[in-house]
Amino acid sequence: MTSHRTDRAGLIDRTQPRNFTFDGKAYRGFEGDTLASALLANGVRVMGRSFKYHRPRGPWGAWVDDPNAIMTVTLDGRSFPNCPAATTPLVEDMQARAVNAWPSAAFDIKAGLDLFHRWLGAGFYYKTFMWPDWHLFEPMIRKMAGLGDISRDAPKNYTADQVHDHCEVLVIGGGAAGLACARAAAEAGRGVVLVDDHPIFGGGLHQSVQIEDRTPSEWIADQLAAIMGAGGRVLPTTTAFGVYDHGLVGLAEYGAFGTAPHLHRMRADRIVLATGALDRPVTFAGNDRPGVMAVDAACEYLARYGVLVGRRIALASNNSLADAAEAMLTQAGAKITRISPQDGAIRALGGKQLKGLAQGLRRHEVDTVLASGGLTPLVHLWRHAGGKLDWCAARQAFLPGAAPDGMVAIGAANGTFDLDQALSEARAIGAGNASDAAARTYSLTPLWPEPGDKGRQWIDFQHDVTLKDVELAARENYVSVEHLKRYTTLGMASDQGKTSNMAGLAAMAAIQDRPLPEVGTTTFRPPFVPVPFEMYHGHHGKQLWHPLKRLALEPQHRAAGAALGEYGGWLRPGWYGTGNRGDLIRREVLSARNAAGIFDASPLGKIEVMGPDAEDFVNFIYYNTIRTLKPGNIRYGFMLTEGGIVMDDGVIARLTENRFVISCSSGHVDSVREHLEAWRQDGNNPDRIFIHDLTQQWSTVTITGPKARDILAKLPLGLDLSAQAFPHMTVQETQREETPIRIARVSFTGDISYEISIRSSRASDLWDKVVAAGEPHGATPIGIEALSILRAEKGYIMVGKDTDGETMPHDLGITIPRLKKKPAYIGDRSLHSDKANLPDRKALVGLAVGDGDKVLPTGAHIVDGTLSRSLGYVTSSYDSPTLGHPVALGLLENGSARTGEIVSVWHMGETRQATVCAACFFDPEGERLHA
């Protein structure tokens, strides 16, 4: 038996002791204890230090309302920071350490900061660390800030399960009202889920002697049996931490300590809020001393854990519920002294050890002060859902007002503090009936902070916000509650206003001499209590974090030694082989220019547009005129936004009169498909246009280079590949072994190229044959890095790299449709705006450097002579293996008129010279392209 543990009371299992340490010292508790209850049972009161002044702190609450006892808990070699001691279940061999204290909570080396409190008021850091430079102080401030330290080692097997679920009625809170409501709803045939964050249901019922002629445990067991018997589900140790749109409630279901909670995304047709109410602190001098505690907390520690928190207790309460608390604590052996805080200012005496309580000249020798300034309904979830709050003068509290869709509050959460009334209300709501407003027995005398009172009076225990801080904020005109919160840090972090909000609002109301409801409340946001990030993270890790699309030919690429990386949402070969990356890419470029490169172009878009209006539709979608495109032909074009900005470039092939294939950029397939679908249904007849995204049906192998035709000729396709029969920008369809094959003669390198598309299940066979056919010619597979160089040599752009959010087609040199295309197209009007016609628009240019010069850095700014203004920037820049010198593309103000001009290019403090030239460095006449 320890000094504060009673002989009988509590729900703990006294046959199962649990050994643990706190700040290095060994203690013993029992199965069913929390860290806080076990420490209190052992006579430990100082369990933490406040954030700013490092004042000693003991528990104020017995559950989620305790802002003070926060610990780093180590179990089996794994550490978990910021565990609230009042809700952390005690486990054998736990090692707990108070956060924000060293070497221990009882003796903290930084406690001396409290001596300087006069200079450390609200917002002191905004005023103090201005000179000579904030950054001088920043490292020290950052080191001191925060609570627990996160472990550098991610705990293994700490993974949250995430499941979607649904119920008809979700009852949040397993106290008397929640249990009665859930039972009534379940027996009425509704699909009920009842959740409570305690491991044992009952809420505050365990403090009662009897309920409806039974012991609390019997009554609770009856309700649970009835709920489950009627098909309801009950989830203990499950916290409803947030309410989101359309009845979605986030539930964190906790298992054994050290395991990640399970996330239930519960969609409920109806949400019943039975979350209860909290004692709010009384604001008096020294009210933060260890030993000052909520009345309800003392009763909970006794009822659930068999812990009598003090022997000589001052009970300072303004409400009628104190009588039952007095009777319960007296029965357990405590000597109670009733104090009426409204009769005069009170003051806690002592330091780390509470020595007594003074009221005026009268001094009470007590070891514990239990305080209650009235009950505050827990309405956080109500506000998450957008519910309104109404001020109740009789209860001196904000109560649920206009309800959000599908939500109702019952019991203490609704201001129904009397048990019989709460049960009646809960049963009516559960059965789907209206609740009768019955007589109320709860009464209280208003008790709020009084500005000007002497002594340091705490409003927010966790963040050391005092009444004087609120007064200071008001003097400095931070009078809105939202400004008050941010200026003083009132109600931040894990407290989230549970204990501090009402006192802070009341203080501000009193300072301004305004009614409290006029001041209002701050915004409540999820989560209601801290939850591990892992719970949100779930399975979205490693390869399931931003998963990439996979190529049908990936096994072939791996076998060929490809270096794979992400390009436009796909895992694609960057280059092939091992060794120096630059050398390998250079070799691939030269292979493509001298013989041929073989490239997997499968991610290129293959979106088919079909139907009687397909021609008009693609003509409307594209900047370029597509209407004149003949079947079997291909045209390059831009898609624009309504603002006239280039959103994609690519080619479009016309297969038949009513069938087009859009080959958009690999990374733009999803957005282009959505763009097409949106416009199909807006301004067009969706019954005459149909869009099929077949990108993943087809894989594409590209052969590019002077030997491309020879290599393709080795495949028995039965086609005339001559330049006359199969010219550039045409497409042919054929079959091989009953498999359709589509060959487009189109190039992204400037050399003769064929894109061979085949159904994906046959792609490996095609790839192997092309590689084998190319080998005698010196052709090799090439990756995206080599392709990027090849296209830049030719001056072919990549949208998003060589364009930005302002680039219009005429900035890229494609001007004719803007001037001559008559039918409407997306972006048309914007291309004729004043902005589109500005002479200094950034246009695509080439940038040449002198012999022997280094490659210009991509992203480097093109600046005017005084380096005072950016005129543009380098978009693509490479050392061209083909040409033997660097090539670069850029966007430059009035670029098309600057050909031949020498410009300054600035990057990271270095300025170099470049000559503006045409954006094409390779085969400008196109002889190789059309060969």
Partner 1 sequence: MRDDSKKWDAPGAPTTLEMSDGLTITPVQLARQTLLSGVDVLGRTQHPIAAWSGVVTAQTYALSLRRDRVLLVNGPALADGWHGDIAQAVSDVSDCYSVFDIRGDRAFSVLKRGAELRLDVPSKSVARLLFGLGVFLYRFEATDTFRVHVFRGQAETFFKSLKFAFPSL
Binding site for partner 1 (CB under 8 A): 159, 161-166, 262, 265, 267, 539, 543-544, 547-552, 554-555, 558, 562-567, 570-571, 574, 581, 608, 610-612, 614, 655-656, 658-659, 686-687, 690-692, 694, 696-698, 740, 759-761, 784-785
Report long-range pairs for 335-338 (Cβ below 8 Å, ≥24 apart): 335/311, 337/312, 337/313, 337/364, 337/366
* In contact, 911 and 734? CB cutoff 8 Å: no
Smallest distance from partner 1 to CB 564, Å: 4
Smallest distance from partner 1 to CB 628, Å: 20
Q: Is the dihedral of CA 459, 462, 468, 472 positive or negative?
A: negative
Distance CA 350, CA 369 (A): 12
Q: For partner 1, which is the closer residue by CB, 187 or 613?
A: 613
Task: Indicate the angle between helix axes 501-512 and 467-475, nearest 10 degrees.
Answer: 50
Smallest distance from partner 1 to CB 161, Å: 4
> If phi over 0 gives left and psi between -120 and 50 gives alpha, with beta otherwise, what is residue 341?
alpha
Q: For partner 1, which is the closer residue by CB, 504 or 611?
A: 611
Which DSSP string do the residues of 559-616 spell out, in sequence order? HTTEEEEEETTEEEEEEESSS-HHHHHHHHHHHHHHT-EEEE-TTS--EEEESTTHHH
**Torsions phi, psi of 238, nearest 5?**
-125, 120
* In contact, 266 and 163? CB cutoff 8 Å: no
Q: For partner 1, which is the closer residue by CB, 164 or 525?
A: 164
Q: For partner 1, which is the closer residue by CB, 215 or 760?
A: 760
For residue 323, the surrounding DSSP H or E stretch is helix 322-331
Q: Is the dihedral of CA 625, 629, 635, 640 positive or negative?
A: positive
Q: For partner 1, which is the closer residue by CB, 410 or 553?
A: 553
Smallest distance from partner 1 to CB 730, Å: 18
Smallest distance from partner 1 to CB 608, Å: 6
Q: For partner 1, which is the closer residue by CB, 279 or 785?
A: 785
Smallest distance from partner 1 to CB 565, Å: 5
Smallest distance from partner 1 to CB 915, Å: 29
Q: For partner 1, which is the closer residue by CB, 267 or 907?
A: 267
Contacts of 477 (CB under 8 A, 6+ apart): none
Instruction: Please report, to the nearest 10 degrees, the dihedral formed by the alpha carbons of residues 907, 911, 914, 916 taken in order.
Output: 70
> If phi over 0 gives left and psi between -120 and 50 gives alpha, with beta otherwise, what is residue 452?
left
Longest dimension (CA), the chain: 111
Q: For partner 1, which is the closer residue by CB, 321 or 553?
A: 553
Smallest distance from partner 1 to CB 526, Å: 18
Q: For partner 1, which is the closer residue by CB, 262 or 818?
A: 262
Closest to 562 in 3D by CA, of 550, 576, 543: 576
* In contact, 35 and 117? CB cutoff 8 Å: no
Smallest distance from partner 1 to CB 655, Å: 7
Q: For partner 1, which is the closer residue by CB, 744 or 919?
A: 744
Q: For partner 1, which is the closer residue by CB, 669 or 712?
A: 669
- Residue 146: Cβ-neighbour burial (10 angstroms; 0-12, 13-18, 19+): middle
Q: For partner 1, which is the closer residue by CB, 734 or 904?
A: 734
- Alpha-carbon distance values, 877 to 523, 588, 633, 789, 791 (Å): 50, 17, 32, 8, 11
Q: For partner 1, which is the closer residue by CB, 415 or 881?
A: 881
* In contact, 500 and 459? CB cutoff 8 Å: yes
Write out the E strands in 274-396: 277-279, 292-294, 312-317, 335-339, 346-350, 354-359, 362-364, 368-372, 375-377, 389-392
Alpha-carbon Rg for the chain, nearest whole angstrom, is 37
Smallest distance from partner 1 to CB 665, Å: 16
Smallest distance from partner 1 to CB 654, Å: 12
- Residue 395: Cβ-neighbour burial (10 angstroms; 0-12, 13-18, 19+): buried
Smallest distance from partner 1 to CB 721, Å: 24
570-602: b (≥16 Cβ within 10 Å) or e: bbbbbbbbeeeeeebbbbbbbbbbebbbbbbbb
Q: For partner 1, which is the closer residue by CB, 524 or 575?
A: 575
* In contact, 49 and 102? CB cutoff 8 Å: no
Q: For partner 1, which is the closer residue by CB, 421 or 757?
A: 757
Smallest distance from partner 1 to CB 576, Å: 11
Smallest distance from partner 1 to CB 237, Å: 17
Distance CA 244, CA 266 (A): 10
Q: For partner 1, which is the closer residue by CB, 498 or 675?
A: 675
Smallest distance from partner 1 to CB 609, Å: 9
Q: For partner 1, which is the closer residue by CB, 549 or 928?
A: 549
Residue with tokens 């074009």: 637
Q: Give the up-direction half-sphere exposure of residue 287: CA atoms within 13 A in the CB hemisphere.
A: 34
Smallest distance from partner 1 to CB 682, Å: 16
Residue with tokens 């380098």: 874
Smallest distance from partner 1 to CB 798, Å: 14
Q: Can you read off the two tokens belonging to residue 661?
A: 């294939």
Residue with tokens 């000094």: 3
Q: For partner 1, which is the closer residue by CB, 382 or 698?
A: 698
Smallest distance from partner 1 to CB 153, Å: 20
- 3-class secondary structure per residue, 78-104: EEEEEEECCCCECCCCEEEEECCCCEC
Contacts of 697 (CB under 8 A, 6+ apart): 606, 759, 760
* In contact, 662 and 636? CB cutoff 8 Å: no
Distance CA 31, CA 35 (A): 11
